[in-house]
Structures are given as structure tokens and as C-alpha cells.
Amino acid sequence: MSATEVGFDADGTEGAFLPLFDDFRMRVAAPTPEVVETASWTPEDFNPTTAWYWWLRSPNASNSYYVRLVDTTNEESISYAYGGGAGLRPALLLKSDISVSEAPDERGVYIIE
């Protein structure tokens, strides 16, 4: 997602704001149990119940080697694009006529019905 889509930029240059982020707490994300279990690099506080950093697709204009991210307190930050250590939070927009379960299943997965 872009900085615009998650509510950091209002200029609309990288898509439109996603209403999911009307509640800014929705920017807080933690790794899944599967990611924690299979990660090759695991800092001490890397677990499914603790917020973790995640990348945005938005560059930082001041330096070409920086990219923007959401930190563990749901604020915008920057880091070296080559540094690793942050997660990805994939997203997609579905057509309004596609039905999706209202709540996730026991694994935290929403089902397209």
C-alpha cells in the first residue's frame, strides 16, 4: 500500500485513501505465526502478538535509498530500502459484488464466498 492509501498523505498522488484506515489503529500489524516460525532472522520481540514494522510502496523524496514504512506505533517512518527487517502487508481491492466472509476463520483468513 502507499502512504496515501493508509492515510499519511492527502495529495492523492499514489492512489486513494482506503476507508479501512479511518481507524488509524488499523495500521498496526503483527507477523503471522507462520512467518515467525519460518523467519530466518528473528529479533527477540518478533512474535504474532507484538506490532511490527511494514513497508509502504512510497519512496522518500529526500534520499533514493530510503523507503517509507509504518512503525510499531502506527506512525510513518523511513528506513533503508535494502535493509530488510520490515514486513509486507499485501492488499487488494475487490469489486463490490464479490462476497467475503464478515469475520476471519480460526487461522485469521477471510473467505471469498
Q: What is the pLDDT of residues 17-45, one digit of tens each?
A: 999 899 988 999 999 999 999 988 878 88
H/E stretch holding 69? strand 66-70
- Averaged over successive runs of 10 residues, the pLDDT of the chain (113 residues) comes to 90 86 91 91 88 91 87 92 84 87 90 86
Burial of 12 per CB tally in 10 Å (0-12, 13-18, 19+): exposed
- Model confidence pTM above 0.95: no
Query: What radius of gyration do the chain's Cα atoms show?
Result: 15
* CB-CB contact of 60 with 46 (8 Å): no
